[in-house]
Amino acid sequence: MTNTASEFDAPKRGWYKRNEIAVTPFLFLLPGVFFFAVYVIYPVFQSFNISLYKWDGLGEADFIGLKNYQKLFEDRAFETSLWNNLKWLVLYLLAIPVGLFISLFLNQKVVGIRLYKSLFFFPFVISQIVVGLVFSWFYDPTFGIFTKLIGLVGLEIKGGVLGNPTAVTYGIIAAGLWPQTAYCMILYLTGLNSVDPEQVEAARLDGAKGWKMLWYVIIPQLKPATFIAFVVTVVGALRSFDLISIMTRGGPFGQSRVLSYYMFEKALSEYGFRMGYGAAIAVVLFLIMLVFIAYFLWSMYQEEKGAH
């Protein structure tokens, strides 16, 4: 013992030494927990509080109870945003099966396949801002490739995809699906690597192939990858902000807003600083997310229990 105690920790001997194993984790956690509490945990509660006030961010805040939430019910723009969020959630999940199929397509050993895999993954690495710009040109009503392509089969979308109130949200979701699919693809490619070859062979001997093999043998083994793909896709769908901000700014006529964008618009834009109302929107978004967070934590908890 004596030879490990340097001059540095000599004064701390005694109580600290005796309780070292109990105390150390808390010392190591202190800075991280402090930062996280100040910047993430406490603000969540603050937002709940702010949502009960009428506040412009500078002057006095008036306590108005649940009035902000009452107003939400009559707010058409809020309703549109909520519906659009639902569309995002549902359609974004397409990234999971599409990603799976691309990964199956690429799960071969031919010359250059590594490069192909990287290039397929490419869209995920670029920022959503650039993806948004790229897609707004892709959809451009005068020169966009998309417009030309659907023109070939005689289709036309009035005002272009991003100028058309019905098409706009789907257009932006498609743009978001591009990187998200790439993400799911890479998750599945990694997952496919660890699929047990013996099980596959055994199933083959039993006559399983194609869809049956995929459904009964492969997909169950990909469960961890699917779980992560589901988590990141749901989070991605509810966080959608960048694409809307760069592609349409919520337009036309506010038809492409989602809660995250609408909240920002209310709280921090030229339309004035309605912090309380913005906070109320954020709380609704948070509660939706909370359902998923609870599910994620529950799944993780089950796994933790299994591990011990």
Q: Cβ 216 to other proteins, closest distance in Å?
A: 12
Scanning residues 236 to 265, which ones bind other proteins (CB under 8 A)? Answer: 238-239, 241-242, 245-246, 259-260, 263-264
Q: Which is nearer to other proteins, 91 or 232 (CB)?
A: 232
Determine the Cα–Cα distance for residues 156 and 135; give it in Å rounded to an integer: 17
Rule CB under 8 A: choose which of 64, 69, 163, 190 binds other proteins.
190
The DSSP result for 221-279, as a single string, is: HTHHHHHHHHHHHHHHHHH--HHHHHHTTT-STTTT--HHHHHHHHHSBTTB--HHHHH
Q: Cβ 227 to other proteins, closest distance in Å?
A: 8
Does residue number 171 form part of the binding site for other proteins (CB under 8 A)?
Answer: no
Q: Cβ 21 to other proteins, closest distance in Å?
A: 7
Scanning residues 64 to 103, which ones bind other proteins (CB under 8 A)? Answer: none
Q: Which of these ranges, 62-70, 150-158, 165-173, 214-222, lies near other proteins under the rule CB under 8 A?
A: 214-222
Does residue number 211 form part of the binding site for other proteins (CB under 8 A)?
Answer: no
Q: Cβ 90 to other proteins, closest distance in Å?
A: 18
C-alpha separations of 1 from 11, 12, 197 in Å: 15, 14, 51
Q: Which is nearer to other proteins, 191 or 250 (CB)?
A: 191
Q: Which of these ranges, 30-38, 76-84, 152-160, 164-172, lies near other proteins under the rule CB under 8 A?
A: 30-38
Please list, in sequence order, all residues whose beta carbon lies within 8 angstroms of the beta carbon of residue 242, skipping any fewer than 6 positions away: 127, 128, 129, 132
Of 179, 181, 114, 172, give the one whose Cα is nearest residue 138: 172
The sign of the dihedral angle between the CA atoms of 40, 43, 47, 49 is positive
Q: Cβ 34 to other proteins, closest distance in Å?
A: 9
Q: Cβ 70 to other proteins, closest distance in Å?
A: 20
Terminal alpha carbon distance of the chain = 32
Scanning residues 269 to 288, which ones bind other proteins (CB under 8 A)? Answer: 275, 278-279, 281-283, 285-286
Rule CB under 8 A: choose which of 86, 90, 145, 202 binds other proteins.
145
Determine the Cα–Cα distance for residues 144 and 161; give it in Å rounded to an integer: 10
Q: Cβ 169 to other proteins, closest distance in Å?
A: 18
Which residue has 């789907």 as its token pair? 170
Of 137, 102, 147, 101, give the one whose Cα is nearest residue 122: 102
Please list, in sequence order, all residues whose beta carbon lies within 8 angstroms of the beta carbon of residue 240, skipping any fewer than 6 positions away: 88, 172, 176, 258, 260, 261
DSSP H or E segment with residue 62: strand 62-63
Q: Which is nearer to other proteins, 47 or 164 (CB)?
A: 47
Q: Do residues 52 and 68 touch, judged by C-beta distance below 8 A?
A: yes
Scanning residues 109 to 138, which ones bind other proteins (CB under 8 A)? Answer: 109-110, 113, 116, 118-123, 125-130, 133-135, 137-138
Does residue number 166 form part of the binding site for other proteins (CB under 8 A)?
Answer: no
Q: Which is nearer to other proteins, 254 or 264 (CB)?
A: 264
- 25: its two tokens: 């984790």
Q: Which is nearer to other proteins, 58 or 155 (CB)?
A: 58
Task: Tell me the site size for other proteins, rule CB under 8 A.
Answer: 103
Q: Which is nearer to other proteins, 20 or 62 (CB)?
A: 20
Of 308, 211, 276, 238, give the one whose Cα is nearest residue 81: 238
DSSP-assigned beta bridge partners for residue 53: 63
Does residue number 228 form part of the binding site for other proteins (CB under 8 A)?
Answer: yes
